[in-house]
């Protein structure tokens, strides 16, 4: 059975009420429910964490080695500012898939650059909660190729 | 039954022999076979075209209106240079999903910018041929949300 | 009798249905009809071509020498990316007038730079189909000054 | 009867003697005579002002509301440096057409950027005094579309 | 009775002893005492927090919705680096006023850019502890205009 | 009794009719009335001037020495282009407070840079006419600290 | 017997009449005659193509594998804009030599950057038609070192 | 007898009291007295003007043709922002010498660029009032070489 | 007896298993053991902390005043992103020495800039765990010079 | 008999042992022997100098006038930093051909810019010692065209 | 009696034959003769050196302390590239005056920046050999003010 | 016995009298004495050279191969401008340690970039003459790890 660590970055707990024109009305609970359903079907165990703290996310990733087969991460705001999360992903030998709800390339200039993308296996952006579902499939695909 | 136009940009016909360290040994025929299998399962009709010509791709997209429900496009080199393809996507009222085999954010600086991304619904990059499969699912998801 | 080559760049065949908030409902047929009417009044012969292909536009310009007295060109997306069209205009000894339907300076940053403008005689932008009519007058004016 | 405010920016009073290789031998008097003739034919009343003062041009535009149907402006040097003239055009509800004698895109780098263009309806550059005549036609066209 | 959340960003607890030539000898206790006195006079309730943790500040703002009528924030160093705090302010429907003790525009180049300012209602900088008092008045003004 | 020079920069006389979505319906007369009322309460004498002329504003500031205790200035468009006003403020020994009606940091890129801010005591932006009232308080605070 | 593919990029068919101050009076026929003579002497077979179409050049290169020992290419305008030609050269396992008639480093700024150079074996620029002759020798040298 | 127009730009009337650490205690009256004494010795007639208005300086230069043999100008703040003064100098056929009291290259970054220098004959900066004296000698030298 | 605060930034706890080609196999425990041995020899007391949290590091530094004679810090990823840590070092009156295991100047572009360096006394980079030993000596040297 | 000055820039004496992956095992003695053989065949006299000193290279070029018909130069590291060598080439009336062993466009960013190229007749890069042989031929071609 | 060290930078020995359109026909001997005549009149002793070597110029300046009252330097090409000469001027306590024959601000972009200017007392550029004469006067003026 | 080449770059001979606020009163003789004492204790032989000449430093490094076990270099001004010294270090197989007396990251912007650092083993900056002592220890450490 595969184990995947799912990390929701800062402010994602506010989904559903937050900037509905950008993010829609989906809540983090719905995303998590969807992910769990899909994981069950794929016989995969998930650990899901939301954190507003860069340091906490760094710690989570740092401890993932040997415990998880892949990381599914929406780094949210930290996508554009966190070298620490980037370094954490480089440091552990666990493949990471980066997902975004919105199409970050259609938003403000500073959101077009991801510090995480160069060290992730791949990136999925713009499909709302479906980004997570696709990301989970991608993560499983990456695990299989490696296994 | 949904209809999706699949566009492979320049040089993708060379896959399998081309820069194997970057793109792997998958050929375009394998990608297409995978896509067709998946499309059949999803009761979706595909039209698949590979072209090295920017103008041809622009024409294909320009004629997609009313004929296709979505476009799945790997613009390859034109990702970084073609305003014409970007404008074609903006011009027709058909949602587009952008896919890339490699993680373009882990490669040369000039590959980090996509002129297409801001007008696509979303982007999937870095999962080899799996990027296309995920892209097809994403396209179907976009069609359903809209339908 | 003066002869003028009119070139419509990529995606302009989609006018009328394309991004109506930016380009209005005018179609390319209406623009062409207007141009022909005006040309007739000015005793000028027009050859009108629309092309999505950069190479085709380069060829058209390359063959214009000795056949046309001026070129009226809306390079559309190629305005911002084509050194080849720029070089073609520099290469032939036929004066070119650049026109744009929309005010390109009020749009995205990358549309503010025209690779064509430095080698054109002048530029007219922002007046919808009227840009073409003014461009035709400008072209005739340039021919007369030279003749 | 339409009323149009024509503004000549700094140094344009020196035309005819000023940098003849760039601007030719046309004088501002000839341009004005041409404009008046054309305006008469089009049953349009013109107020023509030349000013070297940014503040004066700002005031003229500020007072144009309700008195003029359009503004025809050659901002000259202020094209590249005046946010105040830009703001004045945005502030009054009178459409503005920007004209230039020379092809500013074929000159020094700093002349390639116009602070005025994004708030003008459109821009005409490079046709010598003919730029003004075309600009007047464009302004009348803009008025009619709006009327 | 209005409720306002006051957030002091990183290092502000060191005020009074910290770089006295830049920040003066005022302590955070004095600022808070001033704010409380002023709030009492204005019949406003304050919650005042100082935090060195970006994530903690993000959480505070995320929970402000429905509990506070406005946020008064001196993001200090995070002004220039935190997309997460910016996103938190965008995410909750509580107006924010940004204050700075020093004139950030007269200091190092990197302090001239605020990631927070574009999503705040307004900004007050350079008046020492008076910046906070003015900020509180501004926040009350914003609440009243909205109420 | 303190004396404060209030300077309204270019186009501010058009307030109320100018871009109402950005600036609201407040007129300059209302701002001035508010300022006078507040000044009276604070036993302060005001001289209020509006000018579209950079040179005039430079002269006003140049003559302020010894006549005024502080300057309250909304440099409007000159905020972003006038080294001359900056130098005037540096040249006289009268503290200046910079105010803006709108949140300049939430607008076009070129409005994010103030040439005036580095030489002003502080800056207040984004609170509509309340910016002026807060600015007047700030100016009085600056005078007191110095006095 | 070695086989070399010679590609002339856009507008090179216009040589001899095109911008004689930059390119001289040599025609493409003269260049080709010279190349054939030299190839004969070196017992080398040439295929020579001129194309204005980026896509056509991409196709030509894509098919070169196994058929040609080297490519001699003057990408002309596409030197500065074509990632697709760059990718085609990277994709096939045929060494490419880049040549230019003029000294591109002594011309406009945008001509100083070649997207092709990093993937070519080497570059020869500035010697008029002699650039081609030297390029052919260089290509043969590269083939020999490899063979 | 040679005639030279001396122009002092904005804020130079404040010399002596203005930023004494940068500009010293010399007043504009002393500079003018020095210049007059030197001019008398050199049998040269001076017209000396100080203006805070960009437009006024443009007008002065515009009228200099045929009346003055050279212009000695300290454009002060307008050095860095005025295309209009630059264009005025280009427009009239009167050689201009640019002078600065302070070493502008040892001050803020934005003072390192002079829009005037490219069209002036030469530049003298950093020697306090001696810059003017040297500038007058340089202007006479330029006149003699030309005469 | 001198007291030095040693701070290991984010991800340094992963040393030994993390990117061995960049960082080698040394573990943080070995570094600490080395530092303690050296400190003992130099009669210095160390407090050693590793943290992934920017805010925690800020707090540690903020409390160092009066308790420690120097700070030895490897800010790791925060070197390039943390204004807050920079401000903390500026705020307390305790000299800081910055160390890095790897030669940050031979790595990715974004690692070439240290926000910490300008406020540290000095920097030592590239000598693996020896960087710490040299840093401790440097810190003691700084303390002695000051003492 | 033609005379050509051959200049090897800094560090080229180390060839053969220096960075063999970039430069191969060819020594400067081999290059010189090749050049002499070729020169003999072409009845050309060579003077060959290697220097690590920018000033020495400047002097050599400065004295070349009237003594040499062409200069063949590999400026090595000075390619990217020496305005003095550029000016020397501009100053003497002797055509220069620039050669490089490696493909400088495929290396570090700072090596993509040549200060020498704009004043050389042409440039040959990337063919190892063959670059010199081709360069010699190019130099003789340039001499003949001129002679 | 004052002693002044005059330094002519690289290539200045070629004056008179070098790029006559930029530098005229004046030779370095004429400049030196002029300077000596002027120095004699001013009872000043000169040491005049021309060098193509950056290091030699650095040494000359390094030894100037206590031997010369001022340095008159035309750094020529080193103006734009030499931090070493800049540091030498900063290191010795001898005031330096920077002169240029041509108007460096009217030439190529890279010549607009002087590394020397920020540490020189002042700069004189554009007056041909007269620049030196004015520079000598300026140097004497600087000495007197200091003495 | 290890042999280390110590190189002092330009102007370092002036230490002690040069900019005492930046560099202190230490002389190069004191630094050398310290280094010799330390070298003796470590049974290491030093060759110490100071040079103002870039070319000389390049030569010294070029000849270090096989003669020295490490290079200890303070490139001073050449740190920021010399590709030639960088290439020399890359060319020889002798590890280099870069030292600086001052904290170059706390000085002018152009001093923040070192061309040498990417090819050195490591860098030590900011500890005055102690930088050299630490550098010597670092060099010995590097030698031992390699030996």
| DSSP-based three-state secondary structure for A66 | coil
Q: Which two tokens stand for residue B91?
A: 């011009």
Residue carrying the six token digits 């043999």: H69
The minimal CB distance from K121 to the residues H117, H126, H134 is found for H126
Q: How confident is the model at residue I23 (pLDDT cuts 50, 70, 90)?
A: confident
Residue K6 to residues C135, H16, K61: CA-CA distances in angstroms?
Answer: 60, 33, 10
Verify whether the Cβ–Cβ distance I134 to L124 is below 8 Å. yes
State residue K24's pLDDT score: 79
**pLDDT tens-digit readout, E30-54:** 999 999 999 999 999 999 999 999 9
- What backbone phi and psi angles, to 5 degrees, belong to J102? -95, 165
> From CA K65, how far away is CA G101, in angstroms rounded?
53
Q: Work out the minimum CA distance from L79 to partner chain K, whole angstroms.
A: 9
Is it the case that residue L34 has pLDDT exceeding 70? yes
User: Average pLDDT in the F124-141 region?
Assistant: 97
Residue J115 to residues J72, J78, K51, K81, K113: CA-CA distances in angstroms?
Answer: 16, 8, 21, 12, 15
Which one of I23, I53, I78, I80 is the catalytic residue? I23
Q: Please list the pLDDT of chain K residue by residue as tens digits (147 residues).
A: 899 999 999 999 999 877 777 777 899 999 999 999 999 999 999 999 999 999 999 999 999 999 999 999 999 999 999 999 999 999 998 999 999 999 999 889 999 999 999 999 999 999 999 999 999 999 999 999 876
What percentage of chain C has pLDDT greater than the value 70?
Answer: 99
Q: Work out the minimum CA distance from F10 to partner chain D, whole angstroms.
A: 6
State residue F147's pLDDT score: 66
Question: Which of F25, F49, F52, F53 is the best mutation test for D, with the most CBs of D within 10 A?
Answer: F52
State residue H119's pLDDT score: 96
Burial of G108 (0-12, 13-18, 19+ CB in 10 A): exposed
For residue F93, the chain H residue with the least C-alpha distance is H18
* Number of domains, chain K: 1
For residue A22, the chain E residue with the least C-alpha distance is E91
Mean pLDDT of chain F: 95
For the sheet with D122-125, list strands across it. Answer: C44-50, C2-8, C70-74, C96-100, C122-125, D122-125, D96-100, D70-74, D2-8, D44-50
Q: How confident is the model at residue C32 (pLDDT cuts 50, 70, 90)?
A: very high
- Cα dihedral across residues G77, G79, G80, G86: positive or negative: positive
Q: Work out the minimum CA distance from E49 to partner chain F, whole angstroms.
A: 23
> From CA F76, how far away is CA F50, in angstroms rounded?
11
Q: Spell out the SS3 assignment of C6-44.
A: EEECCCHHHCCCCCHHHHCCCCHHHHHHHHHHHHHHCCE
Q: Work out the minimum CA distance from L52 to partner chain J, whole angstroms.
A: 12
Stronger pLDDT, D87 or E145, i.e. the higher one: D87
Residue E27 neighbours by CB distance under 10 Å: 17
Q: Which two tokens stand for residue A110?
A: 């500073």
Verify whether the Cβ–Cβ distance H18 to F92 is below 8 Å. yes
> From CA G56, how far away is CA L76, in angstroms rounded?
53
Instruction: Please say whether the beta carbons of A77 and E83 come within 8 A.
Output: yes
The minimal CB distance from K122 to the residues H118, H120, H125 is found for H125
Instruction: Please say whether the beta carbons of G145 and J136 come within 8 A.
Output: no
Residues of C tagged active-site: 23, 100
Which residues in chain H are contacts of D55 at CB distance < 8 A?
A: 55
Q: Which residues of chain G have pLDDT under 50?
A: none
Residue F29: which CATH number? 3.40.50.9100
For residue G105, the chain J residue with the least C-alpha distance is J118
State residue L147's pLDDT score: 66
Which residues in chain F are contacts of H52 at CB distance < 8 A?
A: 55-56, 58-59, 62, 84, 88
Is it the case that residue L81 has pLDDT exceeding 90? yes
Mean pLDDT of chain L: 94
Verify whether the Cβ–Cβ distance E19 to I59 is below 8 Å. no
Query: What H or E segment, with its residue span, contains residue J22?
Result: helix J20-23
Instruction: Please say whether the beta carbons of K57 and K86 come within 8 A.
Output: no
Which residues of J lie closer than 8 Å to K, measured between beta carbons? 53-56, 58-59, 62, 65, 81-84, 86-88, 90-93, 115
Which one of J8, J23, J78, J132 is the catalytic residue? J23
Is it the case that residue I2 has pLDDT exceeding 80? yes
Which residues of J lie closer than 8 Å to G, measured between beta carbons? 103, 105-106, 112-114, 117-127, 130-131, 134, 137-138, 141-142
User: Which residues constitute the domain of residue A124?
Assistant: 2-146
Q: Does chain C touch chain B (at least 3 C-beta pairs within 8 Å)?
A: yes
Q: Which two tokens stand for residue G83?
A: 């990632």
For residue G137, the chain J residue with the least C-alpha distance is J134
User: Average pLDDT in the I31-38 region?
Assistant: 97
Q: Work out the minimum CA distance from L24 to partner chain J, whole angstroms.
A: 31
| DSSP-based three-state secondary structure for A72 | strand
Residues of L tagged active-site: 23, 100
Report CA C141 to chain centroid distance, whole Å. 15
**pLDDT tens-digit readout, D31-53:** 999 999 999 999 999 999 999 99
The minimal CB distance from A106 to the residues B103, B105, B118 is found for B118
Is it the case that residue D147 has pLDDT exceeding 80? no
| DSSP-based three-state secondary structure for K45 | strand
The angle formed by the CA atoms of residues B99, B104 and B105, to the nearest 5 degrees, is 125
**pLDDT tens-digit readout, A87-124:** 999 999 899 999 999 999 988 999 999 999 999 999 99
The angle formed by the CA atoms of residues L108, L114 and L118, to the nearest 5 degrees, is 155
- What backbone phi and psi angles, to 5 degrees, belong to D146? -85, -40
Residue I9 to residues A125, C25, I55, I100: CA-CA distances in angstroms?
Answer: 31, 60, 11, 10
Q: Spell out the SS3 assignment of chain D.
A: CEEEEEEECCCHHHCCCCCHHHHCCCCHHHHHHHHHHHHHHCCEEEEEEECCCHHHHHHHHHCCCCCCCEEEEECHHHHHCCHHHHHHHHHCCCCEEEEECCCHHHCCHHHHCCCCHHHCCEEEECCCCHHHHHHHHHHHHHHHHHC
Verify whether the Cβ–Cβ distance C62 to G56 is below 8 Å. no
Residue H3 neighbours by CB distance under 10 Å: 15
Q: Which two tokens stand for residue G134?
A: 């030297």
Q: Which two tokens stand for residue G141?
A: 């040298």
Instruction: Please say whether the beta carbons of L80 and K83 come within 8 A.
Output: yes
Query: What H or E segment, with its residue span, contains residue A46?
Result: strand A44-50
Q: How confident is the model at residue I56 (pLDDT cuts 50, 70, 90)?
A: very high
Q: Spell out the SS3 assignment of chain F.
A: CEEEEEEECCCHHHCCCCCHHHHCCCCHHHHHHHHHHHHHHCCEEEEEEECCCHHHHHHHHHCCCCCCCEEEEECHHHHHCCHHHHHHHHHCCCCEEEEECCCHHHCCHHHHCCCCHHHCCEEEECCCCHHHHHHHHHHHHHHHHHC
Question: Which of B52, B56, B114, B116 is the best mutation test for G, with the most CBs of G within 10 A?
Answer: B52
| DSSP-based three-state secondary structure for I50 | strand
Mean pLDDT of chain E: 94
Is it the case that residue D22 has pLDDT exceeding 80? no
Residue carrying the six token digits 């929406």: A74
Is it the case that residue B93 has pLDDT exceeding 90? no
Stronger pLDDT, K107 or C56, i.e. the higher one: C56
From I115, I106, I41, I40, select the one nearest I76 (Cα to Cα). I115
Question: Which of L83, L110, L116 is the best mutation test for J, with the most CBs of J within 10 A?
Answer: L83
Residue C4 neighbours by CB distance under 10 Å: 25
DSSP letter string, chain L: -EEEEEEE-TTGGGTTTS-HHHH-S--HHHHHHHHHHHHHHTTEEEEEEE-S-HHHHHHHHHT-TTT-SEEEEE-GGGGGT-HHHHHHHHHSS--EEEEESS-GGGS-GGGG--SSGGGSSEEEESSTTHHHHHHHHHHHHHHHHH-
> From CA E140, how far away is CA E146, in angstroms rounded?
10
Q: Work out the minimum CA distance from B12 to partner chain G, whole angstroms.
A: 9
User: Alpha helix locations (H) across chain C?
Assistant: 20-23, 28-41, 54-62, 83-91, 130-146
User: Alpha helix locations (H) across chain B?
Assistant: 20-23, 28-41, 54-62, 83-91, 130-146
Size of interface K-L (CB pairs under 8 A): 58
Q: Which two tokens stand for residue L57?
A: 């430093």
User: Alpha helix locations (H) across E6-104?
Assistant: 20-23, 28-41, 54-62, 83-91
Which one of J8, J78, J100, J132 is the catalytic residue? J100
Report CA E16 to chain centroid distance, whole Å. 18
> From CA E77, how far away is CA L113, in angstroms rounded?
24
Instruction: Please say whether the beta carbons of I31 and I97 come within 8 A.
Output: no
Within chain G, strands assigned E span 2-8, 44-50, 70-74, 96-100, 122-125
Verify whether the Cβ–Cβ distance J77 to L91 is below 8 Å. no
State residue J147's pLDDT score: 66
**pLDDT tens-digit readout, I6-19:** 999 999 999 987 77
K51: Cβ contacts below 8 Å, ≥ 6 apart: J55, K7, K8, K9, K10, K57, K60
Q: How confident is the model at residue J91 (pLDDT cuts 50, 70, 90)?
A: very high
Verify whether the Cβ–Cβ distance I84 to E81 is below 8 Å. yes
Is it the case that residue C146 has pLDDT exceeding 90? no
> From CA K70, how far away is CA K64, in angstroms rounded?
9
For residue D124, the chain C residue with the least C-alpha distance is C124
Which residues of K lie closer than 8 Å to J, measured between beta carbons? 9-11, 13-14, 17-19, 51-56, 76-78, 80-81, 110-111
A12: Cβ contacts below 8 Å, ≥ 6 apart: A28, A50, A74, A76
User: Alpha helix locations (H) across chain I?
Assistant: 20-23, 28-41, 54-62, 83-91, 130-146
Is it the case that residue H61 has pLDDT exceeding 90? yes
Verify whether the Cβ–Cβ distance D62 to F56 is below 8 Å. no
| DSSP-based three-state secondary structure for A136 | helix
What is the CB-side half-sphere exposure of residue I65 using CA atoms within 13 A?
15
Residue H147 neighbours by CB distance under 10 Å: 7
> From CA B47, how far away is CA B57, in angstroms rounded?
13
Query: What H or E segment, with its residue span, contains residue K122?
Result: strand K122-125
Q: Work out the minimum CA distance from J122 to partner chain G, whole angstroms.
A: 4
* Chains within contact range of chain L (3+ C-beta pairs < 8 Å): I, J, K
């Amino acid at each position: 059975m595969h184990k995947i660590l799912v990390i929701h970055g800062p402010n994602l707990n506010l989904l559903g009420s937050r900037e509905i024109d950008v993010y829609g009305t989906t809540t983090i609970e719905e995303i998590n429910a969807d992910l769990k359903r899909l994981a069950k079907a794929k016989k995969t165990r998930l650990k899901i964490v939301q954190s507003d703290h860069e340091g906490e996310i760094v710690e989570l990733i740092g401890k993932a080695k040997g415990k998880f087969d892949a990381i599914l991460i929406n780094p949210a705001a930290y996508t554009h500012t966190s070298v620490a999360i980037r370094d954490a992903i480089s440091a552990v030998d666990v493949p990471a898939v980066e997902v975004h709800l919105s199409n970050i390339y259609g938003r403000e200039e500073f959101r077009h650059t991801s510090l995480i993308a160069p060290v992730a296996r791949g990136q999925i952006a713009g499909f709302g909660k479906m980004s997570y579902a696709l990301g989970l499939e991608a993560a499983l695909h990456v695990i299989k190729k490696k296994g």
